[in-house]
Amino acid sequence: MKTIIKTLTLSILALGIFLGGCVKQQFEEPPSNCDSLAQVTANTTIQDLKAMLPSYPDTLKITDDIIISGYVISNDQYGNFYKELVIQDSTAGISIMLDASYLYTLYPVGQRIIVYCKGLYLGRSNGVVKLGSTYDDAGVTRFGRIQGQAVIDEHIIKTCENKPQEPLEISISQINSSYLYRLIKLNPVEFVSDELGTTWANPFVDPPQSVNHTLIDPDGTFIIVRTSGYATFAAQEITQGSGPFVAILGKYNSDYQLYINSPEDAQLTGDRFFEAIIKTFSDGSATSGGWQNINVSGSINWNVSTSYGNPAPSLVISNYINGSHVACETWYVSPSIDFSEITNPTLSFDNAHGYTGDPMQVKISTDWDGDPATITSATWVNLAYNTDNSTNYFTWVNSGDIDLSAYKGNNVHIAFVYTGSSTDGMTWEIDNIRIFNKTQK
């Protein structure tokens, strides 16, 4: 084993010397001795490597002679990834953090690389396992990028093989941690209409700002698409139609996010499907998109809270003000929704509550004219939904998919009705309201 490692080390050093003498335009050509690397096989999968990092602590130095191999699925060519190389094998994907620029000139998409992991670190960055190193920050050791091209060349070696990877086609609802840092394809999907006409990010400010957009499927399931303000396509408008969307799956704490390599990966050229209504309150507004607070009695309103949510922010209401309860009845009402061209209209939302009082009611109407003065004289039907009936306060529960097919062919309004008295009243929270056409699977 020592003889093998010694031989591999000499090969790595020789290859590092070769790469160090190349000029930029030569990087696209594989090194002349890369054929010898074809015989080097990985002894660990990326999935098993990531599993080595325990839940605590957040970093782990790799001390064994571990070798992984994978294909590059993203680099810094279009600026949406910064000093980061993303690779995958047949089991999983991982981000390699490198303190180097122009990585795409050395490691183009499709390039198979060998990574000698001994001496590197596994670390958890915003909840996601990555491969990198550590550095000293005023006496505190932190997880970060692999420093220095010579060190990078010792650990990351190109082979002669370049084979761009086919994305795994899944649905948004199937996304889980096993797909992190893998190339996936969602089809069909589209951006929500409120965001059409906006750019991928905001490069027009200093410093440029990254931007989150919302991608949805016909079931109304949605996911964040995050784009760096430094991306070369940041100033371009997002694609307006529907179709396949190829991206790298990432995660920021509890939120899954998609990152594209270039706009060419968003082939949203088909007709848009039914516009699902999605209200996540991420814009900080309760009334954007035509939603209304209507006070039947009292002046207590639903408001957006940045402290609570699934995840935060969410919509919150409470009638406990300055140490006492205030009698009120407040309706939070959707804009008019056209069910004339969909077959399986469906409602779902997340909810949580605490304290004592009347429960929140959810209602639907086909004859309300939109005038706040006539809201109680219109015909409203109560909708049953799931909520937490235990003693655990503020436990988030999904309502379940509420079938609205009895109302197809109509224009409808949906209302969340809160009632509080002068002696009691619950605090109620709602989030992730979705009104969509549920496709039959």
- Fold of the domain built from segment(s) 2-162: OB fold (Dihydrolipoamide Acetyltransferase, E2P) (2.40.50)
Partners of 412 in the β-ladder:
337
pLDDT at res. 164: 95
Whole-prediction pTM: 0.72
Architecture per CATH, domain 168-273, reads as Beta Barrel (2.40)
Whole-number pLDDT of residue 441: 41
Pick the CATH number of 278-437 from 3.40.47.10, 3.40.50.10170, 2.60.300.12, 2.60.120.200: 2.60.120.200
| Distance between CA atoms of residues 266 and 195, nearest Å | 15
Q: What is the pLDDT along the chain (441 residues), one digit of tens a residue?
A: 333 333 433 343 333 433 333 333 333 343 445 655 656 789 999 999 999 998 888 899 999 999 999 999 999 999 999 999 999 999 999 999 999 999 999 999 999 999 999 999 999 988 899 999 999 899 898 999 999 999 999 999 999 899 999 999 999 999 999 999 999 999 999 998 878 899 999 999 999 999 999 999 988 888 999 999 999 999 999 999 999 999 999 999 888 999 999 999 999 999 988 777 889 898 889 999 899 999 999 999 999 998 888 878 999 999 999 999 999 999 999 999 999 888 899 999 999 999 999 999 999 999 999 999 999 999 999 999 999 988 778 999 999 999 999 999 999 999 999 999 999 999 999 999 999 888 754
The pLDDT value recorded for residue 410 is: 95
Residue 150 burial (CB count, 10 A): 11
pLDDT at residue 17, as a whole number: 35
Between the alpha carbon of residue 149 and those of residues 13, 110, 227, 416, the distances in Å are 12, 21, 27, 58
pLDDT at residue 147, as a whole number: 94
Question: Same CATH fold, 168-273 and 2-162?
Answer: yes
Exposure b/e, 330-358, CB count within 10 A at least 16 = b: bbbbbeebebeebebbbbbbbbbbbbebe
Ranges of beta strands (E only) in 39-192 are 59-61, 67-74, 84-88, 93-97, 111-116, 121-125, 128-137, 140-144, 156-162, 168-169, 183-191
Secondary structure (3-state) at 20: helix
Q: What is residue 40's predicted lDDT score, i.e. its pLDDT?
A: 77
Q: Specify whether the CB–CB gap between 95 and 130 falls below 8 A.
A: yes
Q: Residue 176 CA to chain centroid, in angstroms?
A: 11
Residues linked to residue 259 through DSSP beta bridges, in sequence order: 248
Contact in structure between 214 and 192 (CB atoms under 8 Å): yes
At 310 the pLDDT is 81
**Can you give the residue ranges of every domain in the chain?**
2-162, 168-273, 278-437
